Amino acid sequence: MLTEFDGSVTPAPITITEPPADPVTLGTVRLFIDDLTDRVLLQATIPWRIDLEDETGLFGPIFRILRNGDPIFEAIDTLQITDGFCFNRITSITFLDENPPLGVVTYTLTALRFCSEGGPFTVSTSAATTFTASEIEGNTP
């Protein structure tokens, strides 16, 4: 049973610059966990784009979810680019935190730039990013 919900909607654009030093925060949500059997369903929708000129390679963002500052989820979404243009994409994330700690828990969605090869480029959000957390009560035996 869903007992608590929090959501974050972050307007665009948010730019992930180079070099990829510090992660960029795309959203933050908080829940109060009152039972060790509770779980938290985290969901995010991130519309993003890559802008570059005359480059080829594998480009994209690294998305992370942090729980109270510690990483609990990571995914890389990439585009193989062959002739340098502007590309749009939407990444959807669904993750279940099966062992959240008791008390106030802060979840943060972040992004870093990823490039396996190629030259300078920019990753930015192209529309509002949504990030939600839903507390789910543990099943009774």
For β-strands 122-125 and 70-76, DSSP reports them as unpaired
Query: Cβ(80)–Cβ(87) under 8 Å?
Result: no
Encode the chain (141 residues) as per-residue pLDDT tens digits. 767 888 889 887 887 766 556 788 999 999 999 999 999 999 999 998 877 666 667 778 889 999 999 999 999 888 777 665 667 889 999 999 999 999 999 999 998 877 666 556 667 787 889 999 999 988 766
Task: State the DSSP code for 56.
Answer: -
Query: Cβ(38)–Cβ(136) under 8 Å?
Result: yes
Distance (Å) of CA 20 to CA 52, 60, 75, 94, 115: 16, 11, 16, 25, 10
